[in-house]
Amino acid sequence: MSEVRDKASRAKQATRLMNGLTTEQKNEALALMADALIAESAVILEANAKDLERGRRDGTSESLLDRLALNPKRIAGIAEGLRQIIDLPDPTGLLLDDTTRPNGLNIRKISVPLGVVAIVYEARPNVTVDAAGLCLKSGNAVVLRGGSAALESNKAIIAVMHDALSRSAVPAESLQLIESSDRASVDELLKLNGLLDVIIPRGGRSLIQNVLKNATVPVIETGEGICHTYLDDEADPAIADPIVINAKVQRPSVCNSLETLLVHERYAARHLAELAGKLKELGVELRGCAKSRTLVPWMGEATEEDWRTEYGELILSVKTVSGLDEALDHIREYGTFHSECIVTEHAGRAAQFLRDVDAAAVYHNASTRFTDGFEFGYGAEIGISTQKLHARGPMGLPALTSTKFIVQGNGQIRG
Amino acid sequence: MSEVRDKASRAKQATRLMNGLTTEQKNEALALMADALIAESAVILEANAKDLERGRRDGTSESLLDRLALNPKRIAGIAEGLRQIIDLPDPTGLLLDDTTRPNGLNIRKISVPLGVVAIVYEARPNVTVDAAGLCLKSGNAVVLRGGSAALESNKAIIAVMHDALSRSAVPAESLQLIESSDRASVDELLKLNGLLDVIIPRGGRSLIQNVLKNATVPVIETGEGICHTYLDDEADPAIADPIVINAKVQRPSVCNSLETLLVHERYAARHLAELAGKLKELGVELRGCAKSRTLVPWMGEATEEDWRTEYGELILSVKTVSGLDEALDHIREYGTFHSECIVTEHAGRAAQFLRDVDAAAVYHNASTRFTDGFEFGYGAEIGISTQKLHARGPMGLPALTSTKFIVQGNGQIRG
């Protein structure tokens, strides 16, 4: 049996023991895991150093090395993340509906774990711990397939967490790490119907597209974010400028940051030059449409490709539009259903934008950077769904559950 | 542009007009559709006669011809189904959550249509109307791809409903029928990401498996039902016999009917012969394991293949087991996550069964035939989901919705 099938089978087997766990037992395991990560920091850092050394040798970019790198402070932060999961309510065993039918049949709908969750991700060791913690709290077994660049770090982290679980009521086999680093191991994982209940890809566009195109196991698409902010004719510049700057500059690498600014032509005539200047000062490269460039001649030229690009860095494309309709058309064509914003003091146009834009989160007069489980008040998240089935937007613990109908009678038969 | 892409694009385009519809406008359209089906019965029956004639010429089985056949009474029933949808609550626009964060940001979560729903199904013209009605009420556009055996009937039904919609506020383009009957048209549909939001297959195993294996658009798996009933040592025969007979005999062709009976060996020794005799009298062919056949020698022999078969007719496989554990193991191996039942007076074993069996609906002392949207009190259903994502069990109107976060502020930015 291949490593992938073997480990998925073990995870599936472990789900049989997960049903009987209490919230207290799961929380105890989370606390043990958090403690162990701190206690065994040295071992984890040693393994991480090997990944970093190989990464440097292979010419990995500095930004990737930075995401891969651990230090005592980062490990403490990761352990703290696990402890925060302890405080979140258990999403399973909730009574969602309770009906007694005229024939006396009692039908209850309760929340249950999904079963086995597979996560395919890139070289961020914190995802290993976050995903393990969220799946454990929601009663799921998890099969992790991280990027090969973080393999030594992940192996060390998993060994520490396995050891912690072996001292808890939670079966250590509920946590599985695929170590094969070839593409074939991912391809095999994507088709393990019957063993896996869902696959969640977390990473860049090519990773996600590969999972979407090749998986036969159900997938929750997480996402690419080509997010737009539309400055309406009646936008208040005192609000608009900080929103645009925050959405672009505060953390450009993340999916809820701004990629394309849409500006009403009258607003642009009055205010674009000043906003562009502020952005430039903050190190943002601007690429504009022809109209925008007549107003801000020093702006670079945006091509069709720019509208379709999630830069993930300090670049912003700018399009001047004739009004709300053109803005909506642009978002329909180039948006990725993530987070979209209108800045305006006009209630009617705000309402139309909020209704007609098809996205996980639609904003009026606030930065799209808020699309996040913590910022929404839902606690830790396993990703941000940009699809419409099952969960949409920031996915917290409830997104890791399914439901089950429990039907109890005393001999009812159908007439 | 191919027919499939063209019609999916038109449906997608129509969703832009669906957002603004009121519940009253949708209900009015449903009433017009129901009236038109009755008024135009003659045209529909004429088209149906062509399908039936071709079916007979091609040697289609009587049971398939029966499912395909329409008559004035059936059309009245189908129209009545549409009228019942009028009475169901509108599942969209519901406020599911409303939080104001410490920074003043107001975050509301509301239910919204999925967008464009595609249904791939077989030769049952009633599905054409049911699916159109449920999708309309939930604000979705729909692309229907029915079996070629019902093509003339479906074309006539769609023409009648289009005509009705043209007299309503609902865009007629929101209802699309794919007429190409080749396999390639299905294959193309399965990969229309960006135009379709979900595909729901309804039909036999091969249709569903084809959709699951080849779709890149998200799918809701509906299901095959290899349903089991386990008669525990402490089952009450006065309850057990009617439950087994009802689950097998009342309507054997449907997915929630019984396929495999599991019987505790002590219960079997006392009661299996009598139950088997009753089933035989009702025309049920029994196929048993070796142990069962020592108790009921006239029973046929069950092979491995029997445990994996959804008969859909008056055949029942029977396995005598040593107890609950063996019953649970059997269900784990051969179940299809649909509906599973235990008959027992023992509360502890009932609780264990209800907890440990992984299925959309788990039953204690009642027939599995109740797994149905109407029987559960949820109204009409678009299918029964046997997967865990998005919806599980009978899917009513809420399963045809997604959610959207509406975030309103007055200039909030992230710190």
pLDDT in tens, A142-180: 999 999 999 999 999 999 999 999 999 999 999 999 999
| pLDDT one-digit tens code per residue, B146-189 | 999 999 999 999 999 999 999 999 999 999 999 998 889 999 99
Taking the CA of residue B76 and the nearest CA in chain A, the distance in Å comes to 22
Whether residues A326 and A197 share a domain: the answer is no
Calculate the average pLDDT of chain B. 95
Token pair recorded at residue A334: 């180039």
Whether residues B154 and B231 share a domain: the answer is no
Residue A61: pLDDT band (50, 70, 90) is: confident
- For the cut 90, the answer to whether the pLDDT of residue B124 exceeds it is no
What pLDDT shows up at residue A66? 86
Question: Chain A: residue nearest B341 by CA?
Answer: A407
Q: Which of B210, B201, B115, B145 is nearest to B7 (CA)?
A: B145
Residue B66: pLDDT band (50, 70, 90) is: confident
- For the cut 80, the answer to whether the pLDDT of residue A223 exceeds it is no
CA distances A34 to A30, A170, B13, Å, are 6, 14, 50
Q: Helices A125-137 and A151-166 sit at what angle, rounded to 10 degrees?
A: 30
Note whether residue A415 is domain-resident. Answer: no
What pLDDT shows up at residue B205? 83
A-B Cβ pairs (cutoff 8 Å, strict)? 203
| pLDDT one-digit tens code per residue, A47-56 | 999 999 999 9
Whether residues A167 and A92 share a domain: the answer is yes
CB contact under 8 A, A20 and B355: yes
Q: Which of A315, A162, A176, A323 is nearest to A252 (CA)?
A: A315
Question: Chain A: residue nearest B104 by CA?
Answer: A366
Whether residues A132 and A16 share a domain: the answer is yes
The CA-based angle B221-B227-B228, given to 5 degrees, is 150
What pLDDT shows up at residue A254? 86
Token pair recorded at residue B211: 């959709």
- For the cut 80, the answer to whether the pLDDT of residue B329 exceeds it is yes
Note whether residue B295 is domain-resident. Answer: yes
- For the cut 80, the answer to whether the pLDDT of residue A123 exceeds it is no
Note whether residue A375 is domain-resident. Answer: no
Per cent of chain A over pLDDT 70 is 100
Question: Chain A: residue nearest B196 by CA?
Answer: A388
Whether residues A17 and A93 share a domain: the answer is yes
Note whether residue A247 is domain-resident. Answer: yes
Residue A335: pLDDT band (50, 70, 90) is: very high
Average pLDDT for B378-384: 86
Which B positions 233-252 lie with beta carbon below 8 A of chain A? 236, 238-239, 242-243, 245-247, 250
CB–CB of B51/B155 below 8 Å? no
Collapse the DSSP code of B343 into the 3-class scheme (helix H, G, I; strand E, B; otherwise coil) and give the result. Answer: strand
Q: Helices B72-87 and B23-39 sit at what angle, rounded to 10 degrees?
A: 170
DSSP code, position A222: B
Residue A204: pLDDT band (50, 70, 90) is: confident
Out of B358, B366, B403, the one facing A407 most closely (by C-beta) is B366
Count of CA atoms in the C-beta half-sphere (13 A) of A12: 16
Token pair recorded at residue B234: 């402490």
Whether residues A203 and A113 share a domain: the answer is yes
CB–CB of B81/B130 below 8 Å? yes
Q: Which of A42, A31, A39 is nearest to A82 (CA)?
A: A31
Per cent of chain A over pLDDT 90 is 88
Whether residues A120 and A174 share a domain: the answer is yes
Count of CA atoms in the C-beta half-sphere (13 A) of B344: 23
Residue B36: pLDDT band (50, 70, 90) is: very high
- Spell B167-199 as b/e; 16+ CB within 10 A means b: ebebbbbbbbbbbbeeeebbebbbbbbebbbbb
Count of CA atoms in the C-beta half-sphere (13 A) of B380: 29
Note whether residue A379 is domain-resident. Answer: no
CA dist., res. A127 & res. A130, Å (int): 5
Question: Chain A: residue nearest B249 by CA?
Answer: A414
CA dist., res. A165 & res. A105, Å (int): 41
Q: How many domains does chain A have?
A: 2
- For the cut 80, the answer to whether the pLDDT of residue B283 exceeds it is yes
Token pair recorded at residue A327: 């803005």
CA dist., res. A171 & res. A13, Å (int): 10
Residue A362: domain span: 227-370
What pLDDT shows up at residue B253? 85
- For the cut 90, the answer to whether the pLDDT of residue B365 exceeds it is yes
β strands within A28-134, DSSP E: 95-100, 106-113, 116-121
CB–CB of B47/B152 below 8 Å? yes
CA distances A85 to A26, A27, A137, Å, are 10, 8, 7
A chain contacts of residue B193, beta-carbon cutoff 8 Å: 212
CA dist., res. B47 & res. B145, Å (int): 17
Whether residues A210 and A291 share a domain: the answer is no
Whether residues B101 and B124 share a domain: the answer is yes
What pLDDT shows up at residue A221? 87
For tokens 């009755």, name the residue. Answer: B38
CA dist., res. B373 & res. B391, Å (int): 13
Whether residues B290 and B215 share a domain: the answer is no
Whether residues B289 and B399 share a domain: the answer is no
CA dist., res. A378 & res. A374, Å (int): 6
CATH number for B397: 3.40.605.10
Average pLDDT for A131-149: 96
- For the cut 90, the answer to whether the pLDDT of residue B140 exceeds it is yes
Instruction: Answer yes or no: is the ipTM higher than 0.90.
Output: yes
What pLDDT shows up at residue B64? 84
Note whether residue A92 is domain-resident. Answer: yes
What pLDDT shows up at residue B291? 97
| pLDDT one-digit tens code per residue, A227-282 | 999 999 999 999 999 999 999 999 998 899 999 999 999 999 999 999 999 999 99
| pLDDT one-digit tens code per residue, B390-403 | 999 999 999 999 99
What pLDDT shows up at residue B201? 93
Note whether residue A376 is domain-resident. Answer: no
Taking the CA of residue B304 and the nearest CA in chain A, the distance in Å comes to 19
Whether residues B181 and B95 share a domain: the answer is yes
Token pair recorded at residue A313: 């860095």
Asked which of A2-16, A242-256, B368-382 is least confident by mean pLDDT, the reply is: B368-382
CA dist., res. B111 & res. A304, Å (int): 34
CATH number for B354: 3.40.309.10
Note whether residue A138 is domain-resident. Answer: yes
What pLDDT shows up at residue A67? 86
